[in-house]
A = this chain, B = another copy of it.
Amino acid sequence: MKLRNSSVSAREVAARAGVSRSAVSRTFTPGASVSEETRRKVLEAAEALGYHVNQLARGLTRQESGIVCLIGSDLGTPYRANLMKALTQHLQNVGKVAMVINTDRLDGSVDLALRQAIRYRADGSIILSGMPDKSITRLCLNNGQRLVLINRDDEHDGPLHINLDEAAAMGAVLMAFLRAGCRRLAFANSAAGTPSLMAREKGFIAAAATMGLDVMTERHGFTCYDSGRVLAHRLLTRKERPDAVFCVTDLIACGFMDAARQEFGLRIPEDLCVAGFDDIEQAGWSSYGLTTFSQPIDDIAARAVAWLDQGGRSDAQPLPSFIRLPASMVWRQSIRKG
């Protein structure tokens, strides 16, 4: 067994197998013409030498690197982490691989990340947070790179947009609150102001308006547990204390519930109905039993990957560029049944 410090190339395999380098290349290219005999010799030599096709070189000649960039921040958050997990899984299923670009501390937000994606000639990028400039979007498309935007409502064409039907969800939760007899509605939002969070806020307020109801709205901090606690203080110390709160995110809902119970002595759902969004694992923990909306994470991932993968094949009819998926309500114990 020949051991070198640098890696083995096709030439060495060819030499050992007594064939041309082309034969080696064809052996590892599905659909290429190689005789059974040659293939056997090549595979044998490759095995002996520990040969692995160099994807960097392969990506250079084919116009496909097999790399897809996942761009986002707050990757440690339950929802984001699960989305990432699903995406990596689905990408691997179609033979691609995920490259993660963390934008937490990147001032240039996603633009810097997308440049990185271009440098690695990624086949596509999936953007989980932040919004790229239009100019960068153009740049990506011109570089033959496909873009998927998840939960970033916006207008421009070219990328695939996957969004949830937030309006429908807000309508459903409002109905649930009303059936529970609640009339003093509140909405607890973070100050992040991302499109999907704002869509929920607007959707909830609009739904309430059709029933002639006002909504007490607060926005504070990041989209996290601690903000939920602060929001509880803000909303529950109001003169007219709400009897139903929609928390824009499960994480916020958990903080809200903890503060409501422990610092205001409220019982949930008897004194206060609460709902959240995302259906993170903790929502199902028995300390919370949070009624919430489940994001179809697996479906989102499957569609994103299918769309990116379809870019390779020319025989496919174009898939739609705007997808709106339903978020299904998960009933637990934080809203009284009417």
Contact = CB atoms under 8 A, between A and B. Distances in A.
B50 A142 contact: yes
Interface string A102-129: 1011100000000110111100000000
A56 interface: yes
A282 to B, nearest CB: 6
B78 A76 contact: yes
Contact of A142 (B3, B53, B84, B119): B3
A contacts with B: majority SS: mixed
Interface in A283-316: 285-288
A65 interface: yes
B120 A102 contact: no
Range class of the A interface residue count: 35 or more
Contacts of A105: 89
A98 interface: yes
Contacts of A92: 101-102, 106
Interface of A: 3-8, 50, 52-57, 59-60, 63, 65, 67, 70, 75-78, 80-82, 84-85, 88-89, 92, 97-102, 104-106, 115-116, 118-121, 139, 142-144, 225, 254-255, 258-259, 262, 281-282, 285-288
24 contacts: A5-B142, A5-B144, A6-B63, A7-B118, A7-B142, A7-B143, A7-B144, A8-B143, A52-B115, A55-B120, A56-B59, A56-B65, A75-B85, A76-B84, A89-B102, A92-B102, A97-B100, A97-B116, A98-B99, A98-B102, A100-B100, A225-B285, A254-B287, A287-B287
